[in-house]
Amino acid sequence: MARTCPDGHTTVSEDYCDVCGLALTDSGSDGGVGAADGAGGGPDPDATAPDLSPVGGTTQECPHCSATNPADALFCEACGYDYTTGTMPRPIEPPTFPGPSSLDLPDPDSAAAAPDTGGDDAAGDADPGAAADGPGEPDASESEDAADAGETADADPGAAPSMAAFSTSPAPLLDTPWVAEIWIDPDWYADQGSADRLPSPGLPTVVVIRHTSNLIGRLSRSRGIVPELDISGDPGVSRRHAQLTTDGSRWFVEDLGSANGTFVGTATAGLPTDPLGSGERREIRPDEQLYLGAWTRIVIRKAADGEA
């Protein structure tokens, strides 16, 4: 069931807006019940219209969806179009994962004994409740979003990103690989006052960065969102939280309208308190690191021998 985020975007998510990442509240419109429906009609078209007012007086129009963005934006805030590479940063369809090896197939006797269902391998991965949907039942997209939320809740917050190896980023490859150290930071957790239980801190998860442009966020198979820096274990991170880009030597971060903000600070100056503005791009200096979500701290550095 469609909902409307505080900025006026239409989304099928139950927790965060799929367009800007803002957290949804009970007072927001759900597209089918509430103030947006009126006494007997459908949703108010004005209530779902995105705010395309110019920012700072200087704007640029997205060639993909015609949305208005700041002139210095690297990505369209409405559809994710990449102004640098001229492409969409995320594939529309979920990525295709490698299938089983022929060595993993059952022996002929077992294959003959198994009943023929008449379907392909994908049928086994289908949502068992999808075919049963009928009037009054949630639509397929809502079921997929609920499944994504369940996967995130059950995931090990300290585990390595689950799909980083299957990145389909169209951004150019780096000549020299870099890595991102993803830390669970107890000090940042205490500062945020999150109600979620802090995972056990330990050694960081090290993710190899191979492209000049990388999405930071939470995995969503139903929406086809596969971040290069997958931080699905932290519930305070938005699905499309921030974009990490480089010119080969310097690194920059841009907040994509995340719900809880993106912060840049140093290890010696105390925790940062001022988040980047939505769409704001900032250079990450060698002594600086990123803070986001309920407990996540990210350090960007060149890959050491044997890490890439």
The pLDDT value recorded for residue 70 is 86
pLDDT in tens, 8-50: 777 777 777 877 777 776 554 444 434 344 444 444 545 554 4
Determine, yes or no, domain membership for 204.
Answer: yes
Structural domain count of the chain: 3
pLDDT in tens, 148-162: 555 454 455 544 444
Asked whether the beta carbons of 278 and 253 are under 8 A apart, the reply is no
Asked whether residue 201 falls in the same domain as residue 184, the answer is: yes
Asked whether residue 10 falls in the same domain as residue 79, the answer is: no
Q: Is 284 helix (H, G, I), strand (E, B) or coil?
A: strand
Of 30-34, 134-138, 192-196, 267-271, the range with the highest mean pLDDT is 192-196
Identify the domain boundary among 88, 105, 138: 88
pLDDT in tens, 215-242: 999 999 899 999 999 999 999 999 999 9
Nearest to 183 by CA among 220, 157, 145: 157
Asked whether residue 172 falls in the same domain as residue 296, the answer is: yes
Asked whether residue 268 falls in the same domain as residue 246, the answer is: yes
Determine, yes or no, domain membership for 259.
Answer: yes
Asked whether residue 282 falls in the same domain as residue 200, the answer is: yes
Quick one: what percent of the chain has pLDDT higher than 90? 40
The DSSP element (H or E) to which 296 belongs, if any, is: strand 296-302
Quick one: what percent of the chain has pLDDT higher than 70? 63
* Mean pLDDT, range 235-251, rounded to an integer: 95
Identify the domain boundary among 36, 70, 88: 88
Asked whether residue 57 falls in the same domain as residue 46, the answer is: no
The pLDDT value recorded for residue 115 is 44
Identify the domain boundary among 70, 88, 106: 88
For the chain, give the number of residues: 308
Determine, yes or no, domain membership for 145.
Answer: no
Residue environment code for 94-128, b if the CB has 16+ CB neighbours within 10 A, otherwise e: beeeeeeeeeeeeeeeeeeeeeeeeeeeeeeeeee
* Mean pLDDT, range 113-134, rounded to an integer: 39
**Can you give the residue range of the structural domain that contains 39?**
1-51
Mean pLDDT of the chain: 74
pLDDT in tens, 58-79: 788 888 888 887 888 887 877 7
DSSP letter at 13 equals: -
Determine, yes or no, domain membership for 225.
Answer: yes
Of 32-46, 133-147, 290-304, the range with the highest mean pLDDT is 290-304
pLDDT of 282 over the 60 cut: yes
Asked whether residue 40 falls in the same domain as residue 56, the answer is: no
The pLDDT value recorded for residue 292 is 97
**Whole-prediction pTM value?**
0.50
Sequence letter at residue 288: E
Asked whether residue 82 falls in the same domain as residue 4, the answer is: no
CA atoms within 13 A on the CB side of 163: 27
Instruction: Quote the CA–CA distance of 207 and 178 in Å, as a whole number.
Output: 9
Cα 141 vs. chain centroid, distance in angstroms?
Answer: 17
Asked whether residue 173 falls in the same domain as residue 239, the answer is: yes
